[in-house]
Amino acid sequence: MDTQEENQQRNNDVARIAAYIPGFKGYSDSEQRNDSDMRVRSAVARKLDLFKTALAEIIQTVAAEKRLDLLSDYDGLVTSIGEFQILLKEPPGDCGDFFQLQSVKEENTSDIYRLDLQLLEKAAHFLEQLETLKQSPFERSDARSLDSRLREMITCFTERAISMKGCHQIEQTLSDS
């Protein structure tokens, strides 16, 4: 059963997500569920476009400085970002029929909201780290740190899909009983 504290936390998470994504409505209503999911994925994809632009500048600087040892690390990041962007284009696979459910109880969406918020915050921190990096000499450890941050975002996105699948399974069990 949903406690008042859990309900308040979920409302706070939705409000914080809406601060990142104007128009975000949540997942309880079937007509808004697809739109809310698309808004989260699009917001992250837009950040990734900014990352790729900043990385292109870093790659140019690294090449101009003849730091060829770093080119493959930064180039690999660009490739990983492109692969993640492909994942973001479609609703998460293997999430059951979450998007076809007529309704979803808010208490079953807490993990999804938490992961949405984490994904958006990780994307914002990644961009901040990248902007800071542009102001200093480039090192291999910087590329590894960025790669680690990117992997955290991908893991969060994967956990989000698993939570959507779990939410569908809970709702299905409730409707069967």
d(CA 99, CA 32): 10
Contact 103, 170 (CB under 8 A): no
And the tokens for 7? 């309900």
Mean pLDDT of the chain: 84
State how far the Cα of 129 lies from the Cα of 112, in Å rounded to an integer. 25
User: How far is 118 from 13, CA to CA, in rounded Å?
Assistant: 10
pTM: 0.84
Domains defined along the chain, listed by start: 4-176 (1.20.120)
CA distance 17 to 121: 9
pLDDT tens digits for range 42-64: 999 999 999 999 889 888 988 99
Residue 43 exposure: Cα atoms within 13 Å on the Cβ side: 25
Q: Pick from 13-17, 96-100, 104-108 the range whose average pLDDT is largest.
A: 13-17
